[in-house]
Chains A and B, each alone.
Chain A
Amino acid sequence: MENLAGMTNVQQVQTVSNAPIFWVLCGVTVVLSAIQAILYMRQSFKTAKEVNLDPKIPREALRIGFISAIGPALGVFIVMVGLMASIGGPMAWLRLSIIGAAATELTAANVGAEACGVTLGSEEYTLVCLAVSWFTMALNGMGWLLFTGVATPSLEKLRNKVSGGDMKWLVVLSGACSLGIFGYLNAGEIMKGVGNTIAVLAGAISMVAIVKTICQKHPKLMEYSLGMAMIVGMIFAIGYDQLFK
């Protein structure tokens, strides 16, 4: 055990929250997530073979997921470096590898401190407060994990009920729900300010343009469309910042 005597509270919290043992303890859940993905991969490839699906399709699907996630993962990468400074390396790694966005986790960490009547990172923030913050993050994440762990089969039944067995309506229904979700997410971004609004518009318009023009001629490029649109959206937003701010 680290010698914590003579340290200030801030130093104690810093030292303990970055103690090597926590990489292993946080790793348990991170590894479980990888195991779940591997089990689903095995199931997918096995089933694809059973129904004689063109073997190119599952391989391509996996590759598209892998490649298209690079852009968003770069965002997570950078946010994580910031989060490591405020909640410790191992816990940042755990929280951003599983359910949880940086903003959610920071809120949870702050709520933990607030419940103790102190502020995160202050000299009054002791190991006890750190424990409350960590409990809060785990309790918050538990909500989604337990609900999906228990209720997902009922959601499948609900979808079938709403679709009423009409497969064409099911397709439209899925599209409408996705539009609703992303309409909501975009509305939040638009409210953040001009820069974010430009990123949303440039991302949306360039995606439409890429899909309607380049991808019609070169269907192979479709799998990079999301990455390209993301870069265009960011360039326009950063350009606005550089020119007008």
Chain B
Amino acid sequence: MNEKEVLSRWKKSSILIGSPTNILAAATAFIPVLYLCMKYDCWPPLSTVLTAWAMIAASFGAMWFVEPISYYASLGLTGTYLSFFAGNIGNMRVPCASLALDVTKSTPGTLQAEIVSTLAICGSVFTNLIGTTSAVIVGSAVLSVLPQFIVDGLTVYASSAIFGATFGNFAIKYPQIAVFALAIPVVLKLVPGLPAAVIIVITVFGSLFIARFFYKKGIVKA
């Protein structure tokens, strides 16, 4: 069997696993609140829930669509299902997947790359589950013995350092694109009142167009 056939079967099977589980998760996430309301008879008025829904949609609604589209090229098919179920995409899933692609020297778009990034994300899902579950069991105890500066470092700076490191790793390969990828959002952030979703879209597609231009001119190569 050639790789093309295997790849198309891989995609079908990925959709067959990912689509129902993600849709099911959207439903099962309501189990606790439905039980809460039934058991303690504390049903809120429908209008209040709808108001809250509209308010949260005003903050994050655009992200529901913008993030999966923007991250798609980095995550791929299975990676998208896994990551938007398990969360922590920028600080955990993409860094793990891209590092695994580097270490195993896999080329994006190939079957090997799909397998490698899927497994790296699976590995990170288990680590995260272990982390959150142990936080439940020993969290407060551990926090009370850790020196304050370590707690601060992890809460305030861990994400910054990971974002920086991952950006650095991509910048090694495409320094010319990296300059624009950082400059565009920094400038846009200075514009008051610009929604985050708009900044993401302009940054990702701006980087894409610049990459296309450099690629056509032969300035950047795969």
Bound together, the chains give a CA A206 to CA B168 distance in angstroms of 8
Evaluate contact between A77 and B42: CB separation under 8 angstroms. Answer: no
Evaluate contact between A147 and B85: CB separation under 8 angstroms. Answer: no
Evaluate contact between B152 and A241: CB separation under 8 angstroms. Answer: yes
Smallest CB separation, B86 vs chain A (Å): 6
With A173-B211, A178-B170, A184-B203 already in contact, the answer to whether A222 and B102 are too (CB < 8 A) is: yes
A-B pairs with beta carbons under 8 A, tally: 591
Evaluate contact between B36 and A127: CB separation under 8 angstroms. Answer: yes
Count chain B residues whose beta carbon lies closer than 8 angstroms to a beta carbon of A.
Answer: 160
Evaluate contact between A172 and B215: CB separation under 8 angstroms. Answer: yes
Question: In B1-38, which residues have CB < 8 Å from any A CB?
Answer: 1, 3, 6, 10-11, 13-15, 17-26, 28-33, 35-37
A217 within 8 A of B: no
Chain A residue at minimum C-beta to C-beta distance from B216? A169
Evaluate contact between B31 and A114: CB separation under 8 angstroms. Answer: no
Evaluate contact between A234 and B158: CB separation under 8 angstroms. Answer: yes
Contact among A16, A40, A72, A134 for B14, CB-based, below 8 A: A40
Residues of B within 8 A of A155 (CB): 68-69, 72, 80
Could you pull out 12 A-B pairs where Cβ atoms are within 8 angstroms? A53-B112, A65-B122, A69-B123, A74-B154, A81-B139, A81-B140, A81-B142, A111-B56, A148-B81, A148-B84, A175-B173, A182-B167
Evaluate contact between B32 and A22: CB separation under 8 angstroms. Answer: yes
Known: A139-B49, A147-B84. 7 other contacts (CB 8 A): A114-B55, A132-B48, A146-B64, A174-B109, A203-B164, A226-B165, A233-B157
Evaluate contact between A135 and B33: CB separation under 8 angstroms. Answer: yes
With A68-B96, A181-B90 already in contact, the answer to whether A28 and B28 are too (CB < 8 A) is: yes
A10 within 8 A of B: no
Chain B residue at minimum C-beta to C-beta distance from A196? B160
Question: In A147-175, which residues have CB < 8 Å from any B CB?
Answer: 147-153, 155-156, 158-159, 162-163, 167-175
Residues of A within 8 A of B180 (CB): 183
Interface of A is mostly: helix
Contact among A34, A131, A230 for B125, CB-based, below 8 A: A34
B172 within 8 A of A: yes
Smallest CB separation, B214 vs chain A (Å): 8
Contact among A41, A138, A231 for B29, CB-based, below 8 A: A138
With A44-B115, A146-B23 already in contact, the answer to whether A178 and B164 are too (CB < 8 A) is: no
Smallest CB separation, A128 vs chain B (Å): 5
Evaluate contact between A174 and B32: CB separation under 8 angstroms. Answer: no
The 8 A CB mask of B175-200 against A (1 = contact, 0 = none) is: 00110111111101100000000011
A199 within 8 A of B: yes
The 8 A CB mask of B124-137 against A (1 = contact, 0 = none) is: 11111111111110
Evaluate contact between B88 and A76: CB separation under 8 angstroms. Answer: yes
The 4 A-B pairs with the shortest beta carbon distances in the complex, nearest first, are: A233-B161, A65-B123, A203-B164, A143-B64
